[in-house]
Structures are given as C-alpha cells and as structure tokens.
C-alpha cells in the first residue's frame, strides 16, 4: 500500500498551473501524482454542451430559478448559462465567509478554470517587476524580466497564441500567430488613434486561441463557445493540451475527487513528505508521499492548504514564518469604461464569432508620472453590429419591427479598463478552524476592499475611455464607472507572495517555500503585485521555471 | 486540420457521447401540450406572440412554438413576481384572440405604452416581449429563417461587404 502511494512528485490541482507542473515534471521523468478535488472532465468527450444549438439547450440557454438557487454566486458570472454551468461550483456545497463582499468564481474539476478563462496572454515587463521597489509599495519582486523571458518563450511555443506585437516596452515581444481580423469599426478607431494620439494604440489582444493550426490543434472555428470546452482544441486548456502531454510520458497518475486536506511535514528532515487527502465521495482519508510537492490549487486554495497544515514548527500554517501567508490578496478592477455607437460603415459586416477582444495597451504611468494614482490599466475592446437583442427593451412590435431587427443594426462598441490593484496587507484570507465542512476543511474567510488608489484610477479609466472614443469621432459616447465587487475579475492573486527576504515573504524567487525547500507554490498566490496584464501566462511560465529548478535540485540531491 | 472532415471528427466524438440523446425531449413532443398555462391562456399567448413577431419573410412566432417555449420557460426562469405579473397580464388580455386584427394591435399598443414605463418584474409587456424574442430568435426556425445562423462558422472574417438584404446573425 505504502509503495503504491509513493511518487516522485505530487501536484495539487489540475488547472492552469497544475497542468503545466504535471507536463514539465512528467516530461523530465518524474512519476507524478496530480490530485484534483473535483470531478474528471475528459477532453472533448465530457464537453457535453459544446456543439449544441441554442434551441437544444434548456430554455434556449436561459438560467432557471433553480440554477440561481444552487449557484447564487456563480450564476452572476458573465459567461454563466445552461451551456457552462456544469463547469462552475455548486455554491451550496462550497460555502465561504465574506467578511467583505467577495465573488469567488470557481471551477472544481479536472482542468479547473483553464476551461473557462478569457484567454488573454500578455507578458509582464520590468515596468511591472520594478514598480513595488521604485514606489516603496509592498515588497520587491525577487525576479526581473530577464529571469522569466525564456520561460515565456517556452510556454508560448507550446500553448500557441495569436495576436499582435505592438513594439511597446510595457508589452514585451511575444511568439504569436497572426491575429484575428479587426472589424470595419475597429480599423476606423485604429486609424483615428494614429492621428490623434502618440501614446495610445488599438491592437489585437494576445490570446491563447489559435488562428492557425498548431501541433495538430485548431484552428479556431469562430464559434465563440469556448467556455463549453473546445472540440477543436483551438484554445489552451489543461484538459486539451498540458494534461495529454503529461499523459503521453507514461509518468502521470491523475486522481480526480481527491481533496487535499493538508501537507505532511517532517520535523527532522525539515521537508514535506506528502499530503493528506479526503476522497470527495467516500470521505475516506489517504496519505500520499513524494520527494517534491507543487501546490497549484489556485491562489486562495493553495494558501488554505498551507494554513491548514499546522505543526509545532509551523503553528500558524506551513511556511508562515513571515506572517504573510493569507495576506496581500489582490484582484484587478474593471469598473471604468465607455460605450459608443457609429452610424457609418453600414455596408460592412463580418462572418463568424470572434472569441477575442481588441486591446488598448496601458499608457498611464509608463513614461510619465500621474499625480492621482500609481500604476495603470489597459482596455479590452468589443465591437459589433446590433442583433435582435437591440429590440427587446422597446415598446415596438409587429411586421416592421421584425423586419428591422432581423437586419444588422448600427455599429456599437464597449471598452472596459482592467486596472492594477495595489497589495494591501489587510486584504486577506484566513481560516475558522472550528467550522468544518463535510470534508473536514475549515471555513475560509475572505476580506478584500479596493482603496483610494483604485478609485482614483477607475475614474481616470472612465474619463480616458470617453475621451478616446470621442477622439475617434464615435457617436453617443457614454462613460461608466460602476462599483466592482472584489473577486469579480477572477484574477484573485497574492496571499503567499514571493520575495527576497524570508521575514517578509512566503516564497523565494524560485517559487520555493523559504523554509521548506521541497515545497513549491506556483499558482496566483505567488504574486507580489498585480500588473495590468492578465496573469495566467505568468503562472504558466513561472510554473515551468520552478519545475525545471526543482528537477535540477533533485538530481543533485539538494531537495 | 482545416478541412471539413476534421471538423466533423470533432463533432462526431460529441455525437457519440451520451448527452446528445437527452436533448429535445420535452420540447419535441407532438402534438404539443401546455404544461403550465391553461388552454385558454395558451390561445391568448399564441395571439400575443404573433402580434409581436408576425409572419413576414419568415414564419410567425407561433409557427416556431414560441408560446410553448414560454409555457416552459416562465415557470422555470422568471422570478416569482414576474410570474405573477405574467399570469395577470394574460388574464387581462383574455379573449384578444377573438377580436379583429386591428383591435388586437390597438390593445397591445395601449398595453405596451403603459407597461414600458414600469420595472421589468411588474411589466407584463416587457416580460412578454423578452420571452417571445428569446423563444423565437433562438428557436431553429427563428435563428435559421428569420436570422442567419452558422453552427460552425469555420473561422472569423472581420470586415466583409454586407450583401443586399443580408440577415443579422442570430448569435
């Protein structure tokens, strides 16, 4: 029994980071056990809604009252409907305490949220890695762009991404397939920006969606139904890309329905020796052992496992000598933006459903210094011509009405800023060890608020959005600045940050727990700040880098 | 990988999965029978959905069974207050199916003018129009005949000339 429970490596979680850890460790020859708390989701076979027409889905894809009761938080997500709800958790089973309002969108299944993500993959730059140090905010990142750059290359070559290299220092050059095409209105805006601005550009987003075939995958078929799972493997997911690569080596053991309760720490060796697992269905407890453990359970859940791993040596959670474990929670904020319409280009249309956005890269606090706030934001840009939904809210009906709304309407555009949030020490997660769920896991408490810096930035986001759409000569320009509930951008980050000093950080520059050299944490919990760019690509790159480091150390007998 | 066979291979894996057999059970039964609303209410509803979306160069809403969609969707999806509003609205317009066409239009116009100012959950016209449009335009008839629908477009072309009288995309 003990022998069959012993592996070279254990990876906790099978999402964006876990899939990469599995692939890299397996390919380097380690017998690797991947533990996933949720059910198995087999690539393609289990994408049960992927090719359904709207009329084949219950209630033409509208959520029901019963759905909203079962998933009161998940059902507020923009992509929630009858075709995607199976990839989001049952909120009644997985309750957490909101000390401050926090929307926690979770996908507990093999592949995790790599099935659901919005697929934007920009690199961070030294503008991001140096910001904390230069401004005296939080602590310094222990790495710089040169440390991660080869690993961005490594990841991009494998996942396949498309987009446009704008040649801007804040968006380092990437390995990209040609981008998806702009619409007539987007081309118009691009031209107007070139006339009106020196610091603002409209580009095609870097996106982990294939515009060309890549390693037998894709290309994208223009269905824009990614979150149902892609039968063409045209977007990157663990299920479709990294887990199959890990499987191919013969070194992977994937166990779904295995909830990791805590890590087993050996005082004498000063190492973790394995993990304690609860079977999600039978509630039976089992231990698994390995030389090295990678935590990739998502930011809040990896931190939960560490906080729940208490011993005489680590009474406040494994690796928590600094007291920083659970602290410095971040998410982006996206409340500021603008909408507009345009009455021209009525003779232009498009074919297919593009699953990507256009993008306006960050231009604030790049070469100049803002008075009102630190850091910056980029915009996602969505445009199209009106469809039948434009007629829903009007008082009109009848034959003329039907004829009108069954033809393409005017062009409209929606742009939404994605802003950086500073790391505040008291934005945090902590556990109530006296309140256990059915699996014996303590209740998670989450408290996060945005502060003055984010509020000032959001106002500028809204103002800039309107100014840019006016400059592009669009019509009916309206800015918005609506409040955002933290967690809503689904980029929860921090709570086990990297750093140079064990006194102020949980992980070192190799994602290694300072005091426990054979334990690595490579999901969003390692983040030290929250750069404007979408973070998943960086999780993947640092996971691959940490796996390489771990295997080299193992070979030399230094773990 | 860009040929049609490859696309169909992706599709056929799904066709082989168990889930596809489950679709269209409640909705495909013929002759249709209402499960929530009474026969009287269904006659009123059938008239109302056709007033909103009558036959033009594409079939009317009732030809796509939009009233049967509403019969299933209102009890399942609408909030309790909206469900009450909807039933009361049907009652207040009962018998509209027996009136002359121009009287039907006038009656619904009057109702729309009044209801459009109200909040959604207490506005019969808003609820009726929302469910009629979702039911029709996302039905097979609505999506493929009143609008243009491509299940698998095969890619994205961002900037094409609009053809004469081209229909808008359904999704």
Peptide bond into A185 cis (omega under 30): no
d(CA A451, CA A467): 25
d(CA A312, CA A314): 6
Q: Are residues B52 and A398, on separate chains, in Cβ contact within 8 Å?
A: yes
pLDDT in tens, A109-132: 999 999 999 999 999 999 999 999
**Residue B75 domain-assigned (yes or no):** yes
CA distances from A95 to A74, A86, A427, A441, A463 (A): 12, 17, 19, 11, 38
Tell me whether residue B21 is in a domain: no
Task: Name the token pair of A201.
Answer: 């550009």
Compute the distance between CA of residue A23 and CA of residue A544 in angstroms, rounded to an integer.
Answer: 9
Mean pLDDT within A55-76: 97
- Asked which of A52-61, B19-28, B61-70, B155-164 is least confident by mean pLDDT, the reply is B19-28
Q: How confident is the model at residue A3 (pLDDT cuts 50, 70, 90)?
A: low
By C-alpha distance, which of A488, A490, A468 is closest to A477?
Answer: A468
How high is the pLDDT of residue B31?
Answer: 66
Residue of B nearest to A347 (CA): B162
ipTM of the complex: 0.94
> How far is B40 from chain A, CA to nearest CA, in Å?
23
B108 chain-A contacts, CB cut-off 8 A: 397
Number of neighbours of residue A146 by Cβ within 10 angstroms:
9
B1 assigned to some structural domain: no
Give me the domain span that covers residue B79. 34-145
Asked whether the beta carbons of A364 and A374 are under 8 A apart, the reply is no
Residue A438's pLDDT band, with cuts at 50, 70 and 90, is very high
- The answer to the question of residue B5 being in a domain is no
If you average pLDDT over residues A300-322, what whole number do you get?
Answer: 98
**Partners of residue B150 in chain A, C-beta under 8 Å:** 351-352
SS3 A415: strand
**Structure confidence by residue, pLDDT tens digits, A230-287:** 999 999 999 999 999 999 999 999 999 999 999 999 999 999 999 999 999 999 999 9
Check CB contact under 8 Å for A408 and B162. Answer: yes
B138 touches chain A (CB under 8 A): yes
Who among B105, B108, B158 is closest to A180 (CB)? B158
Write out pLDDT tens, residues A478-536: 999 999 999 999 999 999 999 999 999 999 999 999 999 999 999 999 999 999 999 99
Q: What pLDDT was estimated at residue B7?
A: 41
**Residue among A370, A363, A326, A371 at smallest CA distance from A532:** A363
Average pLDDT over every residue of A414-420: 97
Which residue among B24, B159, B165 places its CB closest to the CB of A56? B24
Contacts of B162 in chain A (CB under 8 A): 346-349, 408
CA gap A302, A386 in Å, rounded: 43
For residue range A440-486, what is the model confidence (pLDDT) as tens digits? 999 999 999 999 999 999 999 999 999 999 999 999 999 999 999 99
Residue whose C-alpha is closest to residue A243's, from A109, A123, A356: A109
pLDDT (average), residues A225-230? 98
Write the DSSP symbol of residue A209: B
| Nearest-CB residue to B77 (from A51, A65, A409) | A65
Residue B155 inside a domain? The answer is no
What is the nearest CA distance from A358 to chain B, expressed in angstroms?
12
Cβ neighbours of B81 in A, within 8 Å? none
Average pLDDT for A333-359: 97
For position B1, what pLDDT does the model report?
Answer: 35
Rounded CA separation A201/A195 (Å): 10
A112 and A16 in contact (C-beta within 8 Å)? Answer: yes
Q: How many domains, chain B?
A: 1
Going by pLDDT thresholds of 50, 70 and 90, the confidence category of residue A72 is very high
Q: What pLDDT score was predicted for residue B21?
A: 35
Residue B121 scores a pLDDT above 80: yes
Min distance A233 CA to chain B CA atoms (Å):
9
- The answer, for B63 touching chain A at a CB cutoff of 8 Å, is no
Pairs of CB atoms within 8 A across A/B: 195
Note whether residue B156 is domain-resident.
Answer: no
Per-residue pLDDT, B30: 54
Look at residue B2 and tell me if it is in a domain: no
Q: How far apart are CA A122 and CA A172, in angstroms?
A: 8
In a domain, B160, yes or no: no
Q: Tell me the two tokens of residue A329.
A: 């929670």
Q: CB–CB of A7/A554 below 8 Å?
A: no
Confidence of residue B32 (pLDDT cuts 50, 70, 90): confident
Q: Which of A452, A401, A362, A394 lies closest to A170, judged by CA?
A: A362
- Measuring CA to CA, how many Å separate A246 from each of A22, A25, A209, A292, B113? 6, 8, 21, 17, 62
Q: What are B63-98's pLDDT values in tens digits? A: 999 999 999 999 999 999 999 999 999 999 999 999
């Amino acid at each position: 029994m003990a022998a069959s429970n012993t592996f070279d490596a254990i990876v906790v979680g099978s999402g964006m980071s876990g899939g990469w850890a599995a692939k890299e460790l397996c390919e380097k020859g380690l017998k690797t056990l991947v533990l996933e708390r949720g059910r198995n989701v087999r690539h393609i076979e289990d994408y049960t809604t992927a090719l359904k027409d709207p009329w084949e889905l219950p209630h033409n894809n509208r959520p029901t009252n019963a759905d909203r009761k079962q998933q009161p938080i998940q059902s507020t997500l923009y992509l929630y409907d009858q075709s995607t709800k199976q990839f989001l958790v049952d909120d009644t089973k997985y309750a957490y305490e909101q000390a401050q309002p926090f929307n926690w969108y979770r996908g507990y299944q093999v592949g995790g949220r790599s099935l659901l993500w919005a697929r934007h993959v920009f690199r961070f730059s030294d503008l991001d890695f140096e910001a904390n140090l230069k401004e005296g905010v939080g602590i310094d990142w222990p790495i710089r762009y040169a440390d991660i750059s080869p690993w961005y290359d490594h990841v991009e070559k494998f996942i396949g991404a498309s987009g446009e290299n704008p040649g801007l220092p804040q968006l380092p050059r990437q390995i990209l397939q040609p981008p998806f095409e702009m619409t007539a209105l987007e081309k118009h805006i691009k031209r107007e920006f070139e006339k009106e601005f020196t610091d603002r550009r409209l580009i095609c987003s870097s996106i982990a969606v294939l515009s060309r075939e890549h390693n037998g995958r894709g290309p994208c078929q223009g269905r824009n139904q990614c979150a149902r799972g892609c039968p063409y493997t045209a977007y990157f997911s663990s299920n479709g890309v990294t887990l199959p690569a890990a499987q191919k080596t013969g070194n992977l053991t994937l166990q779904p329905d295995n909830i990791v309760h805590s890590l087993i720490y050996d005082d004498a060796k000063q190492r973790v020796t394995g993990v304690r697992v609860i079977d999600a269905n039978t509630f039976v407890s089992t231990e698994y052992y390995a030389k090295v453990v990678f935590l990739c359970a998502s930011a809040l859940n990896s931190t939960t496992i560490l906080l729940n791993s208490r011993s005489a040596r680590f009474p406040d959670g494994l690796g928590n000598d600094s007291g920083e474990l659970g602290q410095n929670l971040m998410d982006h904020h996206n409340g500021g933006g603008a909408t507009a319409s345009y009455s021209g280009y009525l003779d232009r249309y498009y074919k297919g459903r593009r699953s990507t956005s256009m993008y306006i890269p960050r231009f604030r606090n790049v070469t100049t210094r803002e008075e009102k706030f630190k850091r910056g934001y980029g915009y996602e840009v969505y445009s199209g011509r009106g469809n039948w939904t434009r007629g829903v809210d009007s008082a009109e009906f009848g034959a003329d009405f039907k004829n009108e709304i069954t033809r393409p309407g005017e062009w409209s555009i929606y742009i939404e800023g994605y802003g950086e949030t500073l790391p505040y020490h008291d934005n945090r997660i902590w556990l109530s060890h006296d309140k256990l769920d059915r699996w014996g896991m303590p209740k998670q408490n989450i408290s996060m608020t945005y502060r003055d810096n984010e509020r000032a930035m959001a106002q500028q986001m809204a103002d800039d959005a309107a100014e840019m759409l006016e400059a592009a000569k669009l019509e009916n320009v309206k800015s918005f600045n609506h409040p955002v509930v933290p967690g809503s951008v689904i980029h929860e980050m921090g709570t086990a940050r990297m750093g140079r000093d064990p006194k102020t950080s949980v992980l070192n520059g190799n994602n290694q727990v300072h005091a426990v050299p054979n334990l690595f944490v490579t999901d969003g919990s390692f983040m030290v700040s929250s750069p404007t760019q979408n973070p998943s690509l960086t999780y993947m790159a640092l996971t691959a880098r940490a796996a390489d480091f771990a295997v080299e150390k193992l070979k030399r007998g230094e773990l | 990988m860009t040929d049609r066979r490859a696309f169909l291979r992706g599709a056929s894996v799904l066709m082989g999965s168990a889930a596809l057999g489950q679709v269209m059970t409640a909705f495909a039964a013929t002759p249709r029978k209402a499960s929530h609303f009474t026969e009287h209410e269904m006659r009123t509803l059938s008239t109302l959905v056709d007033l909103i979306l009558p036959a033009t160069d594409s079939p009317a809403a009732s030809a796509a069974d939009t009233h049967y969609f509403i019969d299933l969707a209102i009890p399942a999806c609408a909030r309790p207050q909206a469900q009450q509003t909807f039933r009361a609205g049907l009652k207040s317009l009962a018998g509209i199916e027996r009136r002359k066409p121009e009287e039907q239009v006038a009656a619904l116009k009057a109702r729309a003018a009044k209801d459009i100012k109200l909040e959604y959950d207490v506005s019969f016209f808003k609820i009726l129009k929302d469910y009629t449009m979702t039911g029709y335009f996302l039905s097979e008839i609505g999506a493929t005949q009143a609008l243009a629908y491509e299940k698998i477009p095969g890619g994205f072309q961002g900037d094409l000339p609009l053809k004469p009288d081209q229909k808008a995309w359904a999704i």
